[in-house]
Structures are given as C-alpha cells and as structure tokens.
A and B are shown apart, each in its own frame.
Chain A
C-alpha cells in the first residue's frame, strides 16, 4: 500500500489525494510525499494513521526527505504509527493552542475525556469550544457505536487562528457506511450509502424513525452546522466519496439546509480506491454560543420540515381505473 502526500491535500482537492493512494492489501504501507509541501488536512493524517494501525507499525515506513514536512508529520504524531522514527532533531514547541495530534479513541470513556480536555488544549474560550465539542462528540460516538472498528476512531485537529477555523479529520477502519446501513436501508452502492447516512432520520438501527437510542440525525446535523458556517464537508467510504462545497458568501439569508445531501452544491466520486472504513473531514469556523444556538434553531426547522415532507411521500397512491 502507498499513501502520497502533496500540497493539494486540503478538503477542496482531497479527492486528488485519495485517488493517488494504492490501498491493495499488501500488508505493508509506505508513506511518501511530493516535494515542498508544508501542510495537509487532518483528514489525510487521520486516514493515514488508521491504515497504518491496521497494517501494523512494523510494516509502516515514512519515506520523506523535506525537513519541514518531517517536523510537521512528527508534530502531528504520524511517526508513532511507523517503524522508523523522526530523522530530524528539532526544538519541540508546546503544541496546545494550534493542533491536536492524531489521537486514537476506542471507548466512550476515552471520548468523554478527550472532549472534556478540548478547550484547554486548543486555548479556546468555553463559549467558542461548544461547536467543536458538539461536532466531535457526535462523530466520535458514531465510530464507537456503529463502525465495529476494533482500532476505534483516529482524530486529528488543526486550528488556524487567522481564520478562526478548525480543520478536523476522523477515520476508522470498521465496516463502512454501506454495511452499517445494509440491514434496514439496503443501499444500492457505496455512494447511495453515503447519501442515506447524511439524510435526517436514517439510522443503521431501524427502518424508520430511529429507536430510543438512535435517531439517525447526527451526521445531518453536523453537515448542516458546517454548511451554515460556510465550510467544506467530506465523507469517504468504500469506493465512493461526497464533498460538500463551501457555500457562496454572497448569497443572502444563508444556505438552505437540504434533506438530500446531493441537493447541496457538491461533488461525488464512485471510482476511488476501495476503503473498508469511513473517513470524515470538515472545516469549521468557530462561533460563539449565541450564534451556535441560532444555527441549531435553523437546523430544527429544516429537520422537522424534512420529516414532514418524507411522511407525505410515504402515503401509497390509490389506483383508479
């Protein structure tokens, strides 16, 4: 297996990163890069760490020459998953306030501790950290509860202070979205599974309406938060991927929150290297608590409307002859 990093590895062009990977199961993983890159999205790092853990540290090597790239990958914690150690000696900075290196979470107790420690680590005010706590709480829980991933969730976060923006990646090597939804929703392929997973009220635990423990609302709400804060949202599972584009800032009244993710301005892919788990990447502009509750108010209205409309379509048509 080969994973190749490049300077294009942001959510805008993450399909390029994914299309270059070779994921055939050879039992070994080689991580390399194109020259002169300095920064990749945490989704790429979480994805790489998840694959490396699956293959085994002893079978993973990082072959990168650029000194800045090596330091960056070491700071993000990728060398912990490789057989070779960081070849560059450098003064290690205090990382808090800028990033959360790749972190592996297997249990709900580990998740709770990770979430509780977020705002001191990122040096965010408690008010500003509400959005990221919400988003990570939902995404990590999805992995722990639904993915059947023995290695749990791999999470990485970077904070860009100048834009007040968080970039988040979360990945697992579990059963993937299609298998997770197969029992009750029978998706026709991996792309259809992504569509279903992003729709409100579709849960892998029930045909319709959810159960006392699951509503099938988590991913829809997270995607809606990202859309409202005008950022990219990305999902990759099986051989398919979905990328929601940034919403145009010039449009008045904010973005419409669609029930069908394919109705958003997006790109879809169904010919990527087959990946058995699920990768989610997103960017998030931080908001204060007051603004976050306004976002949730909009989501509440859109969600109820979506369910009402779906119920209407459930009535069977009488045939008059």
Chain B
C-alpha cells in the first residue's frame, strides 16, 4: 500500500489530526493484514515531530519488528528524514523498558 501523505497533509506536515487519521484508517489496518506500507512524502518539504509521532509511534509500539520490516519511507527530504529518525529513536528507547 502506497500512502501519498501530501494528498491530505499538504506540503508541510503539521496537522496531527490528519496524521492520526492516516494512521488509524490506513496504516494500522494494512499492518493488521500483513501488507507492506510505503509512506510516500513526495511534494512534502517538511514535517513537525508532532506530526510524525502521531503518524508512526502507535504502529511502531504495537507491531514492533513487523513495523520495521513492513513500513518504508519514500521521497523524504533531509529534514523529514531527521524528524523520522528522532521519533524512531526516542520511541525505541521507550520500548526497551
């Protein structure tokens, strides 16, 4: 499943409600079905940590290894890459407890 985020979030991801909606309606059901998920950031120049957190932290916590195997990030700007890495690292630090 290829999810083009800019279709709903515009060219800068800051609206957590939109991120939450994409997570609940698209990402989680796809992972439950064992499908691969491609989060495509084409046309997006940036995103806040809050947006990325609302998008990926719940599936990362709930699916753990499956998340890292099935979810891929595409067309990320350097800024978006860094924000995803920040969220990924602090979430994994918390998951080790």
Is B83 interfacial (CB 8 A cutoff)? yes
In chain B between 45 and 87, which residues have their CB closer than 8 angstroms to a CB of chain A?
Answer: 45-46, 48-51, 53-54, 57-58, 61, 77-79, 81-83, 85-87
The answer to whether residues A300 and B93 also contact, given A133-B12, A293-B78 and a CB cut-off of 8 A, is no
CA distance A300 to B90 in the complex (A): 8
Give the interface segment out of A37-45, A108-116, A259-267: A108-116
Nearest CB of B to A312, in Å: 12
Assess the A307–B94 pair: CB atoms within 8 A.
yes
* B-chain residues with CB within 8 Å of residue A141 when the two chains form the complex: 14, 16, 48, 50
By size class, the interface of chain A is 35 or more
Is A297 interfacial (CB 8 A cutoff)? yes
Question: How many B residues face the partner with a CB closer than 8 A?
Answer: 34
CA distance A145 to B48 in the complex (A): 15
Assess the A299–B86 pair: CB atoms within 8 A.
yes
* B-chain residues with CB within 8 Å of residue A308 when the two chains form the complex: 93
Is A209 interfacial (CB 8 A cutoff)? yes
**Contacting A290 at CB < 8 Å: which of B15, B20, B78?**
B78
Assess the B46–A145 pair: CB atoms within 8 A.
no
Question: How many A-B residue contacts, CB cutoff 8 Å?
Answer: 111
- 19 A-B contact pairs sorted by A residue (CB < 8 Å): A115-B12, A133-B12, A137-B50, A138-B14, A145-B16, A209-B97, A212-B61, A213-B58, A215-B90, A218-B50, A289-B78, A289-B79, A293-B78, A293-B81, A296-B82, A300-B82, A300-B86, A307-B90, A311-B93
* B-chain residues with CB within 8 Å of residue A218 when the two chains form the complex: 48-50
CA distance A108 to B50 in the complex (A): 13
Assess the A133–B78 pair: CB atoms within 8 A.
no
Assess the B48–A134 pair: CB atoms within 8 A.
yes
Known pairs A201-B94, A217-B90, A293-B78 / 13 extra A-B pairs, C-beta < 8 Å: A126-B45, A138-B49, A145-B16, A200-B90, A201-B90, A210-B94, A212-B58, A214-B50, A215-B53, A289-B77, A293-B79, A296-B82, A307-B90
Is A96 interfacial (CB 8 A cutoff)? no
Is A51 interfacial (CB 8 A cutoff)? no
Chain A residues near B (Cβ < 8 Å): 108, 111-112, 115-116, 126-127, 130, 133-134, 137-138, 141, 145, 200-201, 209-210, 212-215, 217-218, 221, 289-290, 292-293, 296-297, 299-300, 303-304, 307-308, 311
* B-chain residues with CB within 8 Å of residue A212 when the two chains form the complex: 23, 54, 57-58, 61
* A-chain residues with CB within 8 Å of residue B87 when the two chains form the complex: 215
* B-chain residues with CB within 8 Å of residue A112 when the two chains form the complex: 10, 14-15
Assess the A297–B14 pair: CB atoms within 8 A.
no
Assess the A297–B58 pair: CB atoms within 8 A.
no
CA distance A221 to B86 in the complex (A): 10
Nearest CB of B to A267, in Å: 27
Assess the B94–A137 pair: CB atoms within 8 A.
no
Nearest CB of B to A102, in Å: 20
Assess the A300–B79 pair: CB atoms within 8 A.
no
Assess the B83–A303 pair: CB atoms within 8 A.
no
* B-chain residues with CB within 8 Å of residue A297 when the two chains form the complex: 82, 85
Q: For B53, give the chain A residue with the smallest CB separation.
A: A215
In chain B between 1 and 36, which residues have their CB closer than 8 angstroms to a CB of chain A?
Answer: 10-12, 14-17, 20, 23
**Contacting A137 at CB < 8 Å: which of B14, B54, B82?**
B14
Q: For A215, give the chain B residue with the smallest CB separation.
A: B53
**Contacting A289 at CB < 8 Å: which of B14, B45, B83?**
B45
